[in-house]
């Protein structure tokens, strides 16, 4: 077995033998400095100087026969040994057959299937940069990210090929399409098949020796929406993601147990891999720790809850709508939740009442806490420690991370004062791709990242997220930028101007509500306007409520007065 992984073992032996600067001690005197900076209470960790690829596979020879990923619905999956070998062949074919070179972008447009981590690892080994996209996106949305990311190849499902080709027509491009076959159906004509590329035992892997990717190179390019603009490419380096994985290994915040010959933790991937939350926290980090990942390719509450019991899932990462669903679903019982030990909620603040209702479902004591992060921070910034029994607060800054809470003039505030949260640490992005204006406003004073989120920290530096300064609408944990929907509405021939805000919703958390002003002499039916938008955006972005105004309220500078709209 060792000989199969010799090349990888040699490349990453330094990771195993290097110093580990991890401590379970917490400073006793609080974390605020005299200057108003909040320090992490945890000892700093040493960040390996390596790529995500090498980091993820560093302990491969300890658990080659254990399951790495399995589909909850079909049972189809891979062991760690299979995953490594298949991704290795895929990487070689990306360079040989598709001419992927260091720094080239490969777009992944897939649901959560067991092949997803293999594809990501293959792209990394080939020297490529991953850009992920929601598989429910329309051709209009796909073409925009294809152009912005300058993707050279796209990986998707056979049933999504028609949408991809429509996107090609809009963007006036034509790049190779690789499809992942999850059943016996034939692949669409003119596409390559991932299954064949990964199982190609004859591919010449010597081309992988040409890869010259370093820790400081960009490896992941997710798209995140800004305060009011369209999605921006977030450049995350290997060091950013490796640092975040190491930061999560701090014993007082770590969520998983060691993988041994007799034990393997099980995490379920209900959060989408196309989002940085699941990509880093569930895929990259948990694979490096040898966990079994149960993938959910299509969300159905019954299937999800039954899978928790069937696969004996003990580690679960959620967003608030999922917490509420689990608290209220008739199948959500002490029996179906009996194996859960660690549950972390992120993506948006969770109401304490929802957390209490969720915990009432359990007979056993579990660790239940919140995490906070952003796409721009790889993503984790703060995480509840094991002894924090308050689901209303997030927790301490993770190792190597500093925080500031500032007023509107960027002056530091003190304990229990609410202001905008700023972050500094090795997990903070390199920057937004080809967007110097956004970088100048978001990354200030030597690397402090402005989150746009309102926060409070107590005397000990434990933070609570209060609200968002950003105008993003969070629908079931997904980001919906108002500007995107406003742009679509303005494409309608009868619409002169449009504005969109988020309003509370019982099951979605928030939902978009639109306001439109018509062109002189023009009008349109509200249902027709909703249908017009629905044809151009993903289902979770759809608008169900539109109010007609004579004009959209704007400031002298032209900014939409959303506060005035909310008062309506």
What pLDDT does residue 158 have?
97
What pLDDT does residue 556 have?
54
Domains 2-22+47-453 and 473-567 share a fold: no
Give 498-507 pLDDT, tens digit per residue: 999 999 998 8
Please say whether the dihedral angle defined by the alpha carbons of residues 79, 84, 87 and 92, taken in this order, is positive or negative: negative
Span 418-437, average pLDDT:
96
Q: Distance from CA of residue 302 to its chain's centroid?
A: 24
Please say whether the dihedral angle defined by the alpha carbons of residues 512, 515, 518 and 522, taken in this order, is positive or negative: positive
Please report, for the chain, the start and end positions of each structural domain, with discontinuous segments joined by +: 2-22+47-453, 473-567
Hey, which of 20-29, 236-245, 436-445 has the most confident mean pLDDT? 236-245
What pLDDT does residue 92 have?
98
Please say whether the dihedral angle defined by the alpha carbons of residues 259, 265, 271 and 272, taken in this order, is positive or negative: positive
Give 298-329 pLDDT, tens digit per residue: 999 999 999 999 999 999 999 888 888 898 89
CB 220 within 8 A of CB 200: no
What pLDDT does residue 250 have?
96
Residue 458 has pLDDT above 50, yes or no: yes
What pLDDT does residue 324 have?
82
What pLDDT does residue 558 have?
62
Span 276-285, average pLDDT:
97
Span 511-523, average pLDDT:
94
Query: Which CATH number is associated with domain 2-22+47-453?
Result: 3.40.50.12780
Span 33-51, average pLDDT:
97
Three-state SS annotation for 371-411:
EEECHHHCCEEEECCCCCCCCCCCEEECCCCEEEEECCCCC
Residue 348 has pLDDT above 70, yes or no: yes
Give 97-135 pLDDT, tens digit per residue: 999 999 999 999 999 999 999 999 999 999 999 999 999
Confidence of residue 6 (pLDDT cuts 50, 70, 90): very low
Q: Give the pTM.
A: 0.86
CB 212 within 8 A of CB 95: no
What pLDDT does residue 390 have?
74
- Which fold is adopted by the domain 473-567? GMP Synthetase; Chain A, domain 3 (3.30.300)
Span 339-344, average pLDDT:
97
């Amino acid at each position: 077995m060792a000989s199969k992984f010799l090349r990888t073992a040699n490349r990453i032996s330094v990771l195993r033998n290097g110093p580990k600067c991890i401590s379970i001690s917490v400073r006793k005197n609080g974390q605020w400095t005299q200057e108003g900076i909040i320090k992490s209470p945890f000892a700093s960790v040493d960040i390996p100087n390596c790529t995500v690829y090498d980091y993820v596979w560093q302990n491969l020879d300890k658990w080659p026969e254990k399951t790495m990923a399995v589909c909850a619905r079909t049972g189809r999956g891979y062991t760690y040994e299979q995953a490594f070998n298949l991704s290795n062949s895929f990487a070689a074919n990306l360079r040989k057959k598709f001419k992927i070179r260091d720094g080239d972008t490969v777009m992944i447009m897939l649901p959560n299937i067991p092949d997803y981590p293999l594809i990501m690892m293959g792209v990394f080994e080939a020297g490529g940069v991953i850009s992920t996209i929601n598989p429910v996106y329309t051709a209009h949305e796909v073409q925009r990210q294809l152009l912005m990311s300058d993707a050279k190849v796209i990986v998707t499902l056979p049933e999504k090929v028609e949408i991809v080709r429509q996107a090609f027509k809009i963007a006036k491009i034509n790049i190779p399409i690789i499809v992942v076959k999850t059943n016996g159906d034939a692949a669409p004509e003119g596409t390559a098949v991932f299954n064949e590329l990964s199982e190609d035992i004859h591919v010449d892997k010597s081309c992988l020796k040409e890869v010259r990717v370093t820790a400081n190179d960009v490896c992941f390019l997710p798209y995140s929406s800004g305060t009011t603009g369209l999605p921006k490419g977030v450049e995350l380096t290997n060091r950013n993601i490796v640092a975040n994985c190491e930061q999560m290994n701090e014993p007082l915040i770590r969520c998983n147990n060691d993988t041994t010959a007799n034990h393997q933790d099980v995490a379920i991937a209900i959060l989408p891999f196309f989002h940085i939350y699941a990509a880093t926290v569930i895929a990259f980090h948990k694979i490096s720790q040898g966990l079994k990942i149960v993938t959910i390719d299509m969300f159905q509450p019954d299937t999800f809850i039954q899978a928790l019991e069937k696969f004996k899932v003990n580690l679960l990462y959620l967003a608030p709508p999922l917490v509420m669903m689990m608290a209220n679903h008739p199948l959500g019982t002490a029996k179906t939740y009996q194996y859960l030990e660690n549950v972390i909620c992120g993506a948006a603040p969770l109401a304490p009442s929802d957390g209490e209702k969720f915990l009432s479902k359990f007979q056993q004591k579990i660790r239940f806490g919140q995490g906070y992060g952003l796409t721009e921070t790889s993503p984790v910034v703060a995480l509840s420690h094991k002894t924090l029994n308050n689901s209303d607060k997030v927790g301490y800054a993770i190792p190597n991370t500093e925080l500031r809470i500032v007023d509107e003039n960027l002056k530091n505030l003190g304990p229990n004062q609410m202001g905008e949260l700023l972050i500094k640490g090795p997990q903070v992005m390199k920057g937004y791709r080809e967007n110097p204006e956004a970088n100048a406003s978001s990354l200030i004073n030597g690397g402090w990242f402005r989150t746009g989120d309102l926060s409070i920290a107590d005397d000990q530096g434990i933070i609570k997220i209060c609200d968002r300064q950003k105008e993003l609408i969070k629908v079931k944990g997904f980001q919906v930028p108002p500007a995107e929907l406003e742009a679509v509405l303005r494409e309608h021939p009868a619409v002169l101007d449009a504005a969109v805000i988020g309003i509370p919703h019982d099951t979605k958390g928030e939902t978009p509500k639109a306001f439109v002003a018509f062109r002189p002499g023009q009008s349109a039916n509200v249902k027709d306007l909703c249908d017009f938008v629905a044809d151009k955006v993903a289902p979770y972005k759809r608008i169900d409520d539109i109010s007609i105004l004579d004009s959209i309220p704007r400031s002298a500078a032209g900014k939409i007065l959303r506060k005035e709209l909310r008062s309506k």
